[in-house]
Amino acid sequence: MKDLIGRLQQRLQHPLPGTPAHEKMLPTVPGGNRVQFKNNGEPRKGAVLILLYEDDGKIHFPLIQRPLYEGVHSGQIALPGGRYEEDDTDLIATALREANEEVGVLVNDVSVIGQLSEFMVSASNHLVLPVIGYTTNKPLFIPDPREVDEVVTATLEELLDTGRLKEKEIVTAHGYRLRSPYYDIQGKVVWGATAMMLSEFVDLIREL
């Protein structure tokens, strides 16, 4: 993993793939048009964490399954993360704090190596920064039951497997029908904003 981390850290110093990578996993409405949202006010800032660690000779990273609730991301698979709070020194601190709160990741065990492009999650009006870090210790995940139904320990191998890149009709929490690409990871459907952010990560890894 050390070699991968070193090459990835160097790659993150250069221009990122950005929107073209995101759009590979873009859901559409019937007819192929983009999903349109009307948001009032400035987007809220937030951050998520892609946390790499090695276990049994493979590189893993955690995903979470959200509980069912009255909201646009009900039941979805996501990266650990959440909203920026005033006590956070920056968005990297947001990503680390949220990962600690949601799944028990020890902040001091995480070495941050960089970040992906900021991503606008129009469905919830959040501008999200994906932060990339690693830990040399296998994390002991402790999910917060209020925010996490399940921790899904995905592997980088699965994410890069083109056979796991699929497409299906998805019915959102509010009943909208979308046609969406998704990653089939551990039997979970990883789609929407999370898949679009991971798509940029995949493009970077393939360049190394």
* Residue 107 placed within a domain: yes
Q: Is residue 175 domain-resident?
A: no
For residue 82, the model assigns a pLDDT of 95
Provide the pLDDT for residue 67: 84
Which tokens is 160 given? 């890069």
Would residue 92 count as lying in a domain?
Answer: yes
Q: Which structure tokens are listed for 163?
A: 């056979």
Rounded Cα distance between 50 and 60, Å, is 10
Is residue 132, in this structure, part of any structural domain at all?
yes
Distance between CA atoms of residues 56 and 71, nearest Å: 37
For residue 15, being part of any structural domain is answered with yes
Is 55 part of a structural domain of the chain?
yes
The pLDDT assigned to 129 comes to 98
Q: Are 123 and 109 in contact (CB under 8 A)?
A: no
Q: Is residue 173 part of a domain?
A: no
Structural domain of 126: 2-24+39-153+190-207
CATH, residue 84: 3.90.79.10
**Number of independent structural domains in the chain:** 1
| Tens-digit pLDDT string for the chain (208 aa) | 999 999 999 999 999 999 999 999 999 887 666 666 666 678 899 999 999 999 999 999 999 999 876 555 567 899 999 999 999 999 999 999 999 999 999 999 999 999 999 999 887 888 999 999 999 999 999 999 999 999 999 999 999 999 999 999 988 766 778 899 999 999 999 999 999 999 999 999 999 9
- Cα separation, 133 vs 153, in Å, equals 15
Is residue 106 a contact partner of residue 139, using CB atoms and an 8 Å limit? yes
Q: Give domain status of residue 170, yes or no.
A: no
CA distances 42 to 49, 117, 124, 127, Å, are 23, 18, 11, 9
pLDDT at 182: 97
